[in-house]
Structure 1
Amino acid sequence: MLLKKAFTVFLVLYTQSLLGFQLQNDSTQYSHVLTLTQGGITSSKDTLPFWMQGNNSQRFRSGESNFIYSNLHLRKKISSKENLDYFYGVEWIGSVSGDVSGRFIQNYFGISYSNFLFTFGQKDEFFGNNNNLGFGNLINGNNARPIPKFSIQTRNWLPIFSSFLSVKGYIAHGWFEANRYQSNAFLHQKYLHFKFHPKNVPAEFSFGITHNAQWGGKNIRSNISQPTGFRNFMRILTAGKGANDALGTDKLNALGNHLGTWDFQIKINFGSDWHIINYIQWLWEDGSGLKPKNWNAGIYGFSVNQTHKLGFISELGFEFVNTSNQGGSLDGIGSGPDDFLNNSVYRNGWTYNNQVIGSPIFLILNAENKEENTINNVVKGLSIYSQGCIQNVTYNLSFRQFENYGTKLTPLESSIKLSSLVLNGSFSLAKSRILIGTEYNWGSYSSNLGFRIEFQKDIIFNK
């Protein structure tokens, strides 16, 4: 019966044009594009290999394995020639395994005006400099589904002093789900980045801060609501201390739960064909962490890149992650580990839809408890990756290994280790795109082998 369902879904979508993996092609220059995806995954265990599921906006859910899926993604991108334009996106994914299920991943609408974008809805966004062939962004990753929000951001880098100094900014207000320990809490999110590019110097340097906050909401057990309103929003905006109606801890440190990153990157060009990138992402937690004192808690990355074309090896890089340093607050008040991504008031922690918003290497081992989570945040790891093109086949290859030790306050009795080897390749066939990928995991967390194949086709409605 399952095979009959699978074959039927496969045939229906195949006759409409097959597709895969959201790989960009020349059709991105057109206005309205419908991408149809038909794929299948098989796994040696009753769940997916780690990185097939992680950093994928929950397109594939925990516990799924040996299934076929279909993805429909309708979108309009912004015209590069228009001063005023609109854009939108709707993405739906369905799967057939023991049962048939479907869900929306993205739903958004936006307007671009001059150098600014105004967006409302659930949209995949990518912050910082981290490479998804590595561990991904530690805090603002795409491991969980997009959070519904309204955002304002600069369209590109805005020059301040010619090309010497440019700035890029973003601010958003969002809504967490209702079935949490702190029900219907708000999200505050922003970043501000600067880029220096001296004239006639083959190098550029960028740095900035990303700031997230969970605030408001009602405790599902006590029915006590956290402070909201404009004045408290201004406290959230500046990571300020709570007023008289706030909790005692929020009066001492900061109202709400604050966390974010400092991001640094240096890019150096070698001629017109190659450049190297060196980036650092440091974590910070709560108001005390706004000062970059956890300078050795985060990710360090380095890559060599081919600039204008794909070669046999167009990118070769590595990342090293270490979050074992977690300083306490200032002045000895509430001193102790910052406990990244966890919070005593917002006890689901930095999650959405019961999934860590940041990198999946921050493990949740009590995922069945949807009211409270413990995010195991002490991690060390190494990633080595490459991508390129061999004849008409593009590929990416990555090796990732990490060890999770639990938290500073509650370390695991035995650390959890996982190593992964991932290989993906894609090529064109009969005006479609085909992607074939495999992943092998080994270690104390999981030993698993998975295989994935996708077919891709873009249907263009108008130019």
Structure 2
Amino acid sequence: MKYFATIILLSISSVLFAQKSGFTPEFSTSFSSYASSGDDLPFWMTANQNGMFTMQNNTYQLLQAGLTRSLERDSAKTWGYMYGANFVYGYAGASDFQVNQYWAGLRYKWLVLRAGAKPEPIQYAGLSSTNGNMYWSNNSRPLPGVTLSTDGFIPFLFWKNWFSFKAEYQENFLRDNRYVMDSHLHHKSLYLRAQLPKNWSITAGLDHNVFWGGTSPDYGKLPGIKDYFRYILGMAGSKTALQTDILNAEGNTLGMYLLKVGKAYNNFSLTFYYNHPFEDRSGLEMANLRDGLWGLHYANVNRKAFLTDAVVEYMNTRNQSGSFHLVPDPTPTEPTRRHGRGRDNYFNNSVYRSGYVYQNRMMGTPFFIPNINSEGISTGFHSTRMWMQHFGLKGNLCTHLTWKTMLSWSRNFGQYGDPYPSPLNEFSFLAESRYHSSKLPFDVKFGVAGDYGDRFQKRIGAYAGIHYAF
């Protein structure tokens, strides 16, 4: 009960402070109850939920309370600010309380400085399996860190009527229980957008991520801030770095190319998006061209229609630049020659063995499921070669009732060096409806979800909840 009291007191005091200061925040609270026929909840009940589900059980109760103030959208204002927090109490045979989100930020003209742990904005009506980004899907708890970014897309010089850019520079602190303790995750991105005639738009971008620093149980303390520029620039390691980093790039580097093409029509819009992952130079040079995420989003201009949004996605990670990685291939003139540069083994690393996770949940596409050892620490992903098809639909059944459904098929092959004896197939679904009316001070949601296949336990579950905001 002390956790409930903490949430209520913090929320009330925040609202009172906001009112006295003339702020206009939004306070929200919700309660949801979940039940499953299996030992755990179905996949789409817990995936992409900001890491709120931390325990395994066939029943789960969640209480949330949050406060959010967004940046002003008035471009005439030189300064702006934002803040937010979300508190979560979960019960599943045991109790768990977490400050799931917390952040504060300051904007000066088009530049934004933010500190804390803030989730990514929801893309494609919340129907995408990855939120449109294989690396940042809101599947894990938001990472604590410091971010310097533009305030969205910014018009560029004398091309401002048709050309704009968006950039972000971020340092995240991984303070969870992981294989390399106290490590960091550096992230930066740059996106360019062109607005073309007849309502066409093209966006191209690059995401770059590097795990660096920390203390490894195998190698001791790894080089830290003194090698910072080597990490972020993808340079070879210094003399104090590991031998593999001296021969390659220091730290665990991974990233993504992104392409997005949009077209607006009179009654709807279409957006095609493509993610191309890379782990090293072979991926940068697109030797793994067949791998990536392809998606298409349909958005109806009429937001009261039966079908307002639809998403279809296909993801493939089977190529990985080939099945060989630098195997001996000597010739009479080159006795030390080695051939191949494949087995990229996405999101895994031999030094940062927890993989691309935070709080034991994958930070990117939720179809990568981490292995958790007996000490409760992620040891990376066993299945990194897979394909996936996903469909998402949502709309309105009537004036006060909305609907949403998601269907996903995947086939998992393990790894090149450790394949499954036969592929593991999996089908997961979710169907949800939400009732909202001006006559009630809260919204009501209810839904069902289930899994059927070889990867997860066969199970079906149901949930219901209420949500109140002012």
Calculate the TM-score normalised by the size of structure 1.
0.87
Q: CA deviation at 1:448?
A: 1.1
Following the alignment from structure 1 to structure 2, what is the Cα–Cα distance between the partners of residues 163 and 394? 37
Match of 1:422 in 2: 430
1:266 and 1:279 in contact (8 A); partners too: yes
2:127 and 2:310 in contact (8 A); partners too: no
Is the counterpart of residue 296 in structure 1 residue 294 in structure 2?
Answer: no
Is the counterpart of residue 207 in structure 1 residue 204 in structure 2?
Answer: yes
- Which among 125, 142, 147 is matched to residue 146 of structure 1? 142
Distance 1:458 1:52, change over 3 A: same
Match of 1:194 in 2: 192
Following the alignment from structure 2 to structure 1, what is the Cα–Cα distance between the partners of residues 372 and 209? 24
Match of 1:380 in 2: 387
Match of 2:234 in 1: 239
1:130 and 1:301 in contact (8 A); partners too: no
1:53 and 1:62 in contact (8 A); partners too: no
Moved more, 369-378 or 290-299: 369-378
Give 1:348-427 correspondences, 5 Å limit.
348-368=354-374, 370-371=376-377, 373-375=379-381, 376-391=383-398, 392-427=400-435
Is the counterpart of residue 75 in structure 1 residue 68 in structure 2?
Answer: yes
Match of 2:458 in 1: 447
Q: Once the two structures are superposed, what CA deviation does each residue of 1:395-450 show, in whole Å capped at 9, x if it has no partner?
A: 21111111121122211223322211211111214121111121121111221111
Match of 1:219 in 2: 216
Match of 1:35 in 2: 28
Is the counterpart of residue 57 in structure 1 residue 68 in structure 2?
Answer: no
Q: Once the two structures are superposed, what CA deviation does each residue of 1:182-239 show, in whole Å capped at 9, x if it has no partner?
A: 11111100110111112x32211111011111011111344x2222225x22122221
Match of 1:25 in 2: none
Q: CA deviation at 1:287?
A: 4.7
1:350 and 1:357 in contact (8 A); partners too: yes
- Which among 245, 252, 265 is matched to residue 250 of structure 1? 245
Moved more, 426-435 or 183-192: 426-435
Following the alignment from structure 2 to structure 1, what is the Cα–Cα distance between the partners of residues 125 and 217? 36
Match of 2:279 in 1: 285
Moved more, 188-197 or 405-414: 405-414
- Which among 288, 298, 313 is matched to residue 319 of structure 1? 313
Q: CA deviation at 1:135?
A: 4.2
2:36 and 2:461 in contact (8 A); partners too: yes
Following the alignment from structure 1 to structure 2, what is the Cα–Cα distance between the partners of residues 322 and 288? 17
2:209 and 2:254 in contact (8 A); partners too: yes
Q: CA deviation at 1:317?
A: 2.5
Larger relative contact order (C-alpha < 8 A, sep ≥ 6)? 1
1:58 and 1:145 in contact (8 A); partners too: yes
- Which among 63, 79, 84 is matched to residue 89 of structure 1? 84
Match of 2:333 in 1: none
Following the alignment from structure 2 to structure 1, what is the Cα–Cα distance between the partners of residues 338 and 164? 38
Is the counterpart of residue 156 in structure 1 residue 152 in structure 2?
Answer: yes
Task: Look up the equivalent residue of 2:209 and give its one-letter code.
Answer: N
Q: CA deviation at 1:31?
A: 1.8
1:121 and 1:149 in contact (8 A); partners too: yes
Q: Give the secondary structure class of the aligned counterpart of 1:103.
A: strand
Moved more, 248-257 or 136-145: 136-145
Cα RMSD (Å) of the superposition?
A: 2.5
Match of 1:431 in 2: 441
1:349 and 1:374 in contact (8 A); partners too: yes
Following the alignment from structure 1 to structure 2, what is the Cα–Cα distance between the partners of residues 311 and 145? 33
Distance 1:262 1:175, change over 3 A: same
Following the alignment from structure 1 to structure 2, what is the Cα–Cα distance between the partners of residues 320 and 235? 35
1:53 and 1:61 in contact (8 A); partners too: no
Distance 1:178 1:92, change over 3 A: closer
Q: Give the secondary structure class of the aligned counterpart of 1:380.
A: strand
1:306 and 1:315 in contact (8 A); partners too: yes
2:27 and 2:65 in contact (8 A); partners too: yes
Task: Look up the equivalent residue of 2:187 and give its one-letter code.
Answer: Q
Structure 1 residue runs without a partner (length 5+): 18-29
Moved more, 275-284 or 127-136: 127-136
Match of 2:262 in 1: 267
Task: Look up the equivalent residue of 1:168 and give its one-letter code.
Answer: K
Q: CA deviation at 1:336?
A: 3.1
Task: Look up the equivalent residue of 1:434 and give its one-letter code.
Answer: V
Task: Look up the equivalent residue of 2:143 and give its one-letter code.
Answer: I
Q: Give the secondary structure class of the aligned counterpart of 1:163.
A: coil
Q: CA deviation at 1:351?
A: 1.1
Q: Give the secondary structure class of the aligned counterpart of 1:250.
A: helix
2:129 and 2:365 in contact (8 A); partners too: no
Distance 1:264 1:129, change over 3 A: farther
Percent of aligned pairs with the same residue? 23
Q: CA deviation at 1:334?
A: 7.8
Task: Look up the equivalent residue of 1:196 and give its one-letter code.
Answer: A
Q: Once the two structures are superposed, what CA deviation does each residue of 1:267-308 show, in whole Å capped at 9, x if it has no partner?
A: 11222x211111111111035533333221111112322135
2:128 and 2:311 in contact (8 A); partners too: no
Q: CA deviation at 1:45?
A: 1.4
Q: Once the two structures are superposed, what CA deviation does each residue of 1:358-391 show, in whole Å capped at 9, x if it has no partner?
A: 1121122445454551312111111122111121
Structure 2 residue runs without a partner (length 5+): 13-22, 327-336
1:354 and 1:367 in contact (8 A); partners too: no
Moved more, 367-376 or 73-82: 367-376
Distance 1:419 1:135, change over 3 A: farther
Q: Give the secondary structure class of the aligned counterpart of 2:228.
A: helix
Q: Give the secondary structure class of the aligned counterpart of 2:45.
A: helix
Following the alignment from structure 1 to structure 2, what is the Cα–Cα distance between the partners of residues 102 and 372? 21
Runs of 4+ with deviation above 6 angstroms: 127-130, 328-331
2:179 and 2:379 in contact (8 A); partners too: no
